[in-house]
Amino acid sequence: MRRHLQQWCKSPFFPIALAVIVIWIKTVFAYYADFSLGVADLLQFFLTLFNPIGATLLLLSIALYIKNRRVAFWVLVIIDLLSTILLYANVLYYREFTDFLTVGTMLGVSKVSRGLSGSSIMLMKPHDIIYWLDFIGFGLFLIGRGLMHIRPLAQITPVKIVNFFNKPALQLKPISTLQAFAVTSLATALFSADLSLSEMNRPQLLTRTFDRNYIVKYIGIDALTVYDAIKTAQNNQVRSQADSAQLDDILNYVHQNYAAPNKKYFGIAKGKNVIIIHLESFQQFLIGQKIDGQEVTPFLNSLYHDKNTISFDNFFHQVGQGKTSDAENMLETSTFGLPQGSLFTTLGSDNTFQAAPAILQQQQGYTSAVFHGNVGTFWNRDNTYRSMGYDYFFDKSYFDASAGSSMEYGLKDKLMFAESIKYLEQLQQPFYAKFITVTNHFPYPLSKEDTNFPSAGTDDDTVNGYFQTAHYLDQAVQEFFNYLKASGLYDKSIIILYGDHYGISDSSNKALAPLLGKDPERWNDFDNAQLQRVPFMIHMPGLPGGIRHTYGGEIDVLPTLLHLLGINTQNYVQFGTDLLSPQHQQLVAFRNHDFVTPKYTYTNGKIYRNSDGAIISDPSPKLQKLIARDQAKVNTELSLSDKLNQKNLLRFYTPPGFKPVAPKDYDYNDCYQREMAINQRLGDHSTSLFAQNHDKSTTDLYHTDAPELNGKTQDITDVPDSVKNNQDSEQSQSTTSMSSSCSN
């Protein structure tokens, strides 16, 4: 055994193997001691152990090609050192921002970039020594061997030092290029195996880029950095070719496309709080749907038919690969998501936005906030919201995430709404508050305690679960509405509810068909397209409501909302139009360039007649012309929106009266403390619900049957300790740096 070990130590591959092992230990240590990667199953656990090996070996194998063995040795050491520096910088950065470093942040060019502050030393922990043990050991080795070699110390000469560094111990043993190539090939094979397993566990990992946490969990930090560098270089290249003249055709298009507000509704909600309820994966067919004679979503059904709700029954989602984040982007900016990937993750950190929170803040003094039970890094929300000018972002860290309260995508909806109240009541009014639900998310799991709703009884578990989680979501929204009414917020608010995208994918639609009264055998592309309808409801006490049949989509929400609030949209670059305007054109573009109009559906190269779903295989010249015209418009609006976003052209255009957002002014580490400080500072002038309630919390008005809370209101009232502690340390910094962005 000992002989084997000695022989192994003499092998030419020993130094590189040792370096791989050492970096592997440090990386896995960081994964579990310093990062929270959200490892959810055995394969993910295996991948966290496996992913550092291939990437590290690949990097280190560079040294093997260097013929000068002394140089090769030091290149190996330097690669090891750079890897360690990258890892450790990420550890420190993660401790402060719960996110990983991007190339933009490292180079200090990212607009939201928050480099490590002078307080980095404060972020260090005793166990950090583990990250440096190999270099400490190597340093001691050098000193020890050096002292032995260069004795007596008084007689050190440059020649002796050079001789020392010429020692075989500080050189790589010679190997052939073929052998080096074999190592690189092995590394590539390991890395590819890791990628394939990752893709199995999380399809479209690299095309959709959900979260940097995910990329690290699946393929590691080195790979994340290289991936990010490539993306950054691509983005920069596209942007560097841009100039303000490229905006001309975009501005022409949006001006021509502009739909003037409907006088009856313009300003009808002026000064009201805006509450957006983002219904995860919620499709229109759920409205009115029954399982075993029971309504799936009785509360939302009643809201849909309420005399104070404007409901739309021909409203479509228009998302691409960015799913939720694409829906959010359309709602906040009225521009489309990207043809590939998520705009939030690709461009959210750096692009110039003229988004709802900033428009509302600047035009009418709104305070803005997002409530969402998932980690802030998902879809790069933590950075994108800053670029958009959101004052507050209450992510998972603001809620009690104790065991059983969360599922894969975050806190269960009933808990998220209930635990949001203590933050909501502190916001200055009017506010623009968005609640993003998650429980109704694929694959629709729900524990028995959370539902007694019957299963749909199909062969497809996804379909069966979908109705149960949708029912749960319906109850969660109802509990929230009850609170809004009890607290008085209801009378001061306009409430928008919308479904972000499909929940049942095309592959499961056949299992769903019988429940919708359709024949699965005759199910086709037309039916799939029709099923992309999602609810869009505008509810406000006193609003003249009704169900409207106007065709439209998510791109149209922002101009519709701004007009209701009495804000002129003419000077903004928005691709949608007010759904209530008589000038609204009823052509709905899907992200893949298919489209729907009131009469026809064009999908997968075929024209269908909406009235009976028949394929029109031999269209008349007139219809051909009509379809070609619609297709051209769809292509134009998608490509102009892509050009605007990919080239970041809004940096060249500031609408009159608009002040560009400075992302660096926003920080979401101390939201609770900040909103309370503003409340205190404003004293009698504070417009928060808390102040209006004579500095008394309204959380006792919240009632939920969530089993996790077991009737106790304590979790609803109490701020988690981590948030309190966070606040203490952030206090001084926040009250000064943030007062400008939240000073209403």
Binding residue positions? 280, 324, 441, 500-501
Candidates 108-116, 184-192, 273-281, 287-295: pick the segment binding Mn ion (CB under 5 A). 273-281
Residue numbers in the known binding site for substrate are 441
d(CA 499, CA 290): 18
Other CB atoms within a 10 A radius of the CB of residue 546 amount to 12
Residue numbers in the known binding site for Mn(2+) are 280, 324, 500-501
Taking the alpha carbons at both ends of the chain, their separation in whole angstroms is 73
Q: Among residues 581, 582, 605, 609, which one has the least CA distance to residue 597?
A: 609
- Which of Mn ion, ligand GP9, none does 527 bind, CB closer than 5 to 8 A by kind? none
Is 328 a binding residue for Mn ion by CB under 5 A? The answer is: no
Q: Number of C-alpha atoms within 13 angstroms, CB side, residue 283?
A: 21
Which residue of 48, 213, 324, 669 would you call a contact of Mn ion, by CB under 5 A?
Answer: 324
- Please say which residue, 324 or 429, places its beta carbon nearer to ligand GP9: 324
- Please say which residue, 590 or 602, places its beta carbon nearer to Mn ion: 590
d(CA 555, CA 317): 9
- Which of Mn ion, ligand GP9, none does 438 bind, CB closer than 5 to 8 A by kind? ligand GP9
Q: Which helix (H) or strand (E) holds 433?
A: strand 431-436
Rama region for 517: left / alpha / beta (φ>0; ψ in -120 to 50; rest): left
Min. distance of Cβ 591 from Mn ion in angstroms?
14
What residue is closest to ligand GP9 based on CB? Answer: 323
C-beta separation of 690 from 698 below 8 A: yes
Is 500 a binding residue for Mn ion by CB under 5 A? The answer is: yes
Q: How far, CA to CA in Å, does 724 sit from each of 322, 531, 673, 710, 731?
A: 33, 45, 8, 24, 10
Min. distance of Cβ 100 from ligand GP9 in angstroms?
17
Min. distance of Cβ 410 from ligand GP9 in angstroms?
6
Q: Among residues 311, 269, 370, which one has the least CA distance to residue 499?
A: 311
- Please say which residue, 398 or 409, places its beta carbon nearer to ligand GP9: 409
Q: Which helix (H) or strand (E) holds 606?
A: strand 606-609
Min. distance of Cβ 323 from Mn ion in angstroms?
5
Tell me if residue 451 is catalytic: no
d(CA 739, CA 744): 9
- Please say which residue, 347 or 677, places its beta carbon nearer to ligand GP9: 347
Min. distance of Cβ 398 from ligand GP9 in angstroms?
14
d(CA 514, CA 85): 58
- Please say which residue, 473 or 484, places its beta carbon nearer to Mn ion: 473
Cβ neighbours for 112, distance < 8 A, ≥ 6 positions apart: 349, 350, 383, 386, 387, 663, 664
Kindly state the tokens that stand for 318.
Answer: 């228009």
- Which of ligand GP9, Mn ion, none does 436 bind, CB closer than 5 to 8 A by kind? ligand GP9
d(CA 51, CA 565): 51
Catalog residues that contact ligand GP9 under the rule CB under 6 A: 323-324, 374, 378, 409-410, 436, 438, 441
- Please say which residue, 436 or 558, places its beta carbon nearer to ligand GP9: 436
Is 450 a binding residue for Mn ion by CB under 5 A? The answer is: no
d(CA 313, CA 696): 41
- Please say which residue, 175 or 276, places its beta carbon nearer to ligand GP9: 276
Min. distance of Cβ 290 from ligand GP9 in angstroms?
26
Binding mask 451-490 for Mn ion (x = CB under 5 A): ----------------------------------------
Min. distance of Cβ 379 from ligand GP9 in angstroms?
6
- Which of Mn ion, ligand GP9, none does 595 bind, CB closer than 5 to 8 A by kind? none
d(CA 726, CA 296): 41
- Which of ligand GP9, Mn ion, none does 409 bind, CB closer than 5 to 8 A by kind? ligand GP9
Candidates 229-237, 426-434, 493-501, 665-673: pick the segment binding Mn ion (CB under 5 A). 493-501
Q: Number of C-alpha atoms within 13 angstroms, CB side, residue 189?
A: 6
**Active site residue: 98, 105, 232, 324, which one?**
324
Which residues of the shown chain bind Mn ion in the complex (CB under 5 A)?
A: 280, 323-324, 500
Active site residues: 324
